[in-house]
């Protein structure tokens, strides 16, 4: 309840008002207490008060009962009795400006983020990865960034992981060792995450956190309520989402110094889920954010069962504290009560440790920071009742609020732009086409070579055959010539024999003829002359 520019949260029996000063609200805060002790009521009262002070609020509704902040409350007998006890004046039941959000897009405006904006660190928390596996995931993110592979949704991340695994030898020298085992674990964890509905969270259009910093026309801050009933069924996902949102608010908000009031107050319910098993290097980062984010005009309020759920380095930054009752049946629970009591400035009126175990529902030990930033002494007080409805709302009311929101339709339609999965597929298709073209060219070249070799072989065979035929023809010609020559020689020889025979026959005839003539002539001179004539005649 906003009273005299102060956020009135509780009041003691003797009338001391316990209020958060707006200028000290970004010094952060803590609400702790056992289940059923009244933490949710305190959260609602704070959120309503901040809204009235013109401060936007973000909180997660893990049970569905904070949605009633959007509806006017009822001043029943129990509430009136409390108001009378606290002598609260000017209290009125009213509704507050609310915008509903939902990672799954069913109970509020869809909340989405790109894989690359979430980053490997927060994603590793969601996936429950080891340090070595987170290292491989970080390498995949680095390669995607260097090669302009936009990581928008989970299919992009799966594609990049597969791409990195297939080319790990190419990248290991530059980026470090990449193991197929780690990549396989990440891929299986992504499948589990997707089965939990995380695929609704990753994508576009991505949330603009500036939408959380809105105020209504009447000056009241908008209370942004994340419907986290389904999300809370996956505690790691829930914690990782709020961590991502916290880091995004830090990285996107400019330095503004000390303001009269915060630009936004962020309530981190079930904060123990964030710090369970958190390694030292990651805790160091959270502590840095908690320390520095107040200079960006953002106040953080952690809500958990015990202060021991929050690391000491973070607790040291939480100046506004509300401690509801704790039970102390076991030594560890007694230790937690002791630690909670020691965190307050002592009030001599009561035993702080004993009071923590005696507090009733709706009562709390409260210590807020004063104008100088110092914590006030602890007071035992009763928390004011909320002005809005305590409890859930029906679907009709919720849908009416969603549909009348100025953000209605802004995030409803999913945008599937070209990103890593498509680019890698295009690369694969191009590589396949190039390999196919290269294979076809190689095949054509082989076929050309084979054809040339076949033609050359055929030509060689043809030449050989022609040569054989030429040689055979030459041999046949030679043989024919030899036969002809032989036949010619035979004919010549036969002619010569015939001529010789004829000559010899003629000679014999001549001799006989000459003999007869000569004999007839009778004289030796006549025989010589006749002989000479006939010899010359038959030469």
**Domain containing 282 — which CATH number?**
3.40.50.300
Residues facing 113 on adjacent strands: 202
Q: Mean per-residue pLDDT for 124-137? A: 90
User: Looking at 406-410, 444-448, 488-492, which range is the least confident one?
Assistant: 488-492
3-class SS string, 406-425? CCCCCCCCCECCCCHHHHHH
**240 and 347 co-located in one domain:** yes
**399 and 297 co-located in one domain:** yes
Q: Specify the pTM.
A: 0.80
Maximum Cα interatomic distance, the chain, rounded to a whole number of Å:
209
User: Looking at 49-58, 349-358, 444-453, which range is the least confident one?
Assistant: 444-453
**465 and 431 co-located in one domain:** yes
In a domain, 105, yes or no: yes
The mean predicted confidence, pLDDT, of the chain is: 90
**180 and 234 co-located in one domain:** no
Asked if residue 140 lies in contact with residue 150, where contact means CB atoms within 8 angstroms, the answer is: no
Q: Mean per-residue pLDDT for 36-59? A: 96
Cα–Cα dist 184/166, whole Å = 12
Closest CA to 305 of 337, 280, 282: 337
Is pLDDT at 514 greater than 70 in this prediction?
Answer: no
Phi (first) and psi of residue 341, to 5 degrees? -65, -40
- The β-bridge relationship of strands 6-11 and 379-383 is antiparallel
**241 and 359 co-located in one domain:** yes
Cα–Cα dist 539/521, whole Å = 22
**Percentage above 70 pLDDT, the chain:** 95
Please give the tally of structural domains in the chain.
3
Q: In the prediction, which pLDDT does 496 show?
A: 81
Reported confidence tier of residue 329, pLDDT bands at 50, 70, 90: confident
Dihedral through CA 211, CA 216, CA 217, CA 218, nearest 10?
-160
Residue 184 vs residues 136, 181, 191, 421: alpha-carbon distances, Å = 11, 5, 11, 18
**219 and 342 co-located in one domain:** yes
In a domain, 5, yes or no: no
Tens of pLDDT along 264-279? Answer: 999 999 999 988 878 8
**360 and 446 co-located in one domain:** no
Q: Which domain holds residue 512?
A: 421-537
Q: In the prediction, which pLDDT does 66 show?
A: 95
Closest CA to 48 of 20, 76, 84: 20
Given 411, 436, 454, the domain boundary residue is 411
Cα–Cα dist 8/18, whole Å = 6
Reported confidence tier of residue 531, pLDDT bands at 50, 70, 90: low
In a domain, 3, yes or no: no
Is pLDDT at 339 greater than 60 in this prediction?
Answer: yes
Closest CA to 201 of 268, 109, 334: 109
In a domain, 196, yes or no: no
Tens of pLDDT along 209-267? Answer: 999 999 999 999 999 999 999 999 988 889 989 999 999 999 999 999 889 999 999 99
Q: Mean per-residue pLDDT for 11-27? A: 94
Q: In the prediction, which pLDDT does 522 show?
A: 53
Q: Mean per-residue pLDDT for 56-63? A: 96
User: Looking at 10-19, 181-190, 362-371, 494-503, which range is the least confident one?
Assistant: 494-503
Is pLDDT at 366 greater than 70 in this prediction?
Answer: yes
Is pLDDT at 24 greater than 80 in this prediction?
Answer: yes
Q: In the prediction, which pLDDT does 328 show?
A: 85
Q: How many CB atoms lie within 10 A of CB 17?
A: 17
Cα–Cα dist 289/277, whole Å = 19
In a domain, 396, yes or no: yes
Reported confidence tier of residue 360, pLDDT bands at 50, 70, 90: very high
First-to-last C-alpha distance (Å) of the chain: 171
In a domain, 198, yes or no: no
**273 and 236 co-located in one domain:** yes
Is pLDDT at 518 greater than 70 in this prediction?
Answer: no
Given 162, 187, 212, the domain boundary residue is 187
For 385, residues 6+ apart whose C-beta sits below 8 A from its C-beta are: 41, 45, 73, 79, 82, 83, 91
Is pLDDT at 481 greater than 60 in this prediction?
Answer: yes
Is pLDDT at 529 greater than 70 in this prediction?
Answer: no
Q: In the prediction, which pLDDT does 367 show?
A: 97
What are all long-range contacts of 75-83, with beta carbons under 8 Å and residues at least 24 apart?
79/385, 82/362, 82/382, 82/384, 82/385, 83/385
**173 and 58 co-located in one domain:** no
Given 382, 411, 440, the domain boundary residue is 411
DSSP 137-184: HHHHHHHHHHTT----SHHHHHHHHHHHHHTHHHHHHHH----HHHHH
For the four alpha carbons of 423, 425, 426 and 432, in that order, the dihedral sign comes to positive
Task: Say how many CA atoms lie within 13 Å of 82 toward its Cβ.
Answer: 17
Q: What share of the chain is helix, strand, coil (3-state, %, to 5)?
A: 55, 15, 30
In a domain, 272, yes or no: yes
Cα–Cα dist 379/119, whole Å = 43
Q: In the prediction, which pLDDT does 246 show?
A: 93
**360 and 485 co-located in one domain:** no
In a domain, 1, yes or no: no
Helices (H), ranges, 293-330: 312-315
User: Looking at 34-38, 193-197, 294-298, which range is the least confident one?
Assistant: 193-197
3-class SS string, 94-110? CCCCEEEEECCCCCCEE
For the four alpha carbons of 517, 522, 526 and 531, in that order, the dihedral sign comes to positive
Q: In the prediction, which pLDDT does 283 show?
A: 87
**370 and 244 co-located in one domain:** yes
Q: In the prediction, which pLDDT does 64 show?
A: 92
Q: Which helix (H) or strand (E) holds 61?
A: strand 57-61
**Percentage above 90 pLDDT, the chain:** 62
**87 and 138 co-located in one domain:** no
Asked if residue 364 lies in contact with residue 358, where contact means CB atoms within 8 angstroms, the answer is: no
Is pLDDT at 530 greater than 60 in this prediction?
Answer: no
Query: Is there a cis peptide before residue 205, judged by omega within 30 degrees of 0?
Result: yes
For 216, residues 6+ apart whose C-beta sits below 8 A from its C-beta are: 97, 222
Q: In the prediction, which pLDDT does 393 show?
A: 95
Q: In the prediction, which pLDDT does 386 show?
A: 95
Tens of pLDDT along 381-439? Answer: 999 999 999 899 999 999 999 999 999 999 999 988 888 888 888 888 888 888 888 88
Q: In the prediction, which pLDDT does 520 show?
A: 62
Q: In the prediction, which pLDDT does 536 show?
A: 60
């Amino acid at each position: 309840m906003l009273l005299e520019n102060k956020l009135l949260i509780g009041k003691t029996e003797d009338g001391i008002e316990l209020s958060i000063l707006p200028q000290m609200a970004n010094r952060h805060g803590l609400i702790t207490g056992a289940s059923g002790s009244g933490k949710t009521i305190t959260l609602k009262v704070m959120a309503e008060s901040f809204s009235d002070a013109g401060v936007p609020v973000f909180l997660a509704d893990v049970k569905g009962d904070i949605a009633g902040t959007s509806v006017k409350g009822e001043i029943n007998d129990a509430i009136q009795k409390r108001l009378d006890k606290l002598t609260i004046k000017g209290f009125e039941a009213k509704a507050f400006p609310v915008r509903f959000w939902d990672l799954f897009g069913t109970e509020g405006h869809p909340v989405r983020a790109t894989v690359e904006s979430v980053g490997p660190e927060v994603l590793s928390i969601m996936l429950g990865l080891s340090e070595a596996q987170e290292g491989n995931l970080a390498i995949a993110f680095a390669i995607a960034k260097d090669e302009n592979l936009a990581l928008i949704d989970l299919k992009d991340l799966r594609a990049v992981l597969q791409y990195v695994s297939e080319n790990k030898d190419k990248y290991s020298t530059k980026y470090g060792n990449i193991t197929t085992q780690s990549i396989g674990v990440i891929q299986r964890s992504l499948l589990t995450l997707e089965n939990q509905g995380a695929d609704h969270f990753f994508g576009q259009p991505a949330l603009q956190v500036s939408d959380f910093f809105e105020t209504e026309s009447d000056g009241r801050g908008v209370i942004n309520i994340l419907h986290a009933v389904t999300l809370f069924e996956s505690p790691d996902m829930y914690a990782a989402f709020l961590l991502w949102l916290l880091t995004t608010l830090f990285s996107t908000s400019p330095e503004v110094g000390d303001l009269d009031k915060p630009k936004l107050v962020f309530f981190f319910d079930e904060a123990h889920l964030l710090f369970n098993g958190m390694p030292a290097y990651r805790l160091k980062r959270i502590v840095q954010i908690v320390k520095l984010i107040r200079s960006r005009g953002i106040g953080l309020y952690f809500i958990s069962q015990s202060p021991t759920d929050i690391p000491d380095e973070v607790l040291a930054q939480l100046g506004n504290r509300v401690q509801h009752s704790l039970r102390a049946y076991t030594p560890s629970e007694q230790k937690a009560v002791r630690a909670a009591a020691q965190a307050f400035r002592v009030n001599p009126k009561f035993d702080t440790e004993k009071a923590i175990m005696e507090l009733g529902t709706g009562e709390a030990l409260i210590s807020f920071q004063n104008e100088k930033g110092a914590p006030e002494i602890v007071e035992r007080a009763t928390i004011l009742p909320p002005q809005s409805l305590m409890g859930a709302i029906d679907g009709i009311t919720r849908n009416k609020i969603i549909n009348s929101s100025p953000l209605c339709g802004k995030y409803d339609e999913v945008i599937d732009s070209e990103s890593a999965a498509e680019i890698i597929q295009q690369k694969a298709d191009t590589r396949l086409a190039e390999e196919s073209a290269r294979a076809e060219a190689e095949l054509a070249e082989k076929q050309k070579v084979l054809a040339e070799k076949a033609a050359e072989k055929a030509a060689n065979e043809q030449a050989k055959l022609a040569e054989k035929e030429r040689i055979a023809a030459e041999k046949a010609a030679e043989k024919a010539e030899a036969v002809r020559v032989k036949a010619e020689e035979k004919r010549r020889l036969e002619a010569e024999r015939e001529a010789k025979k004829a000559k010899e026959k003629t000679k014999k005839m001549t001799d006989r003829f000459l003999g007869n003539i000569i004999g007839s002539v009778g004289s030796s001179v006549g025989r010589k002359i006749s002989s000479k004539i006939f010899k010359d005649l038959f030469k």
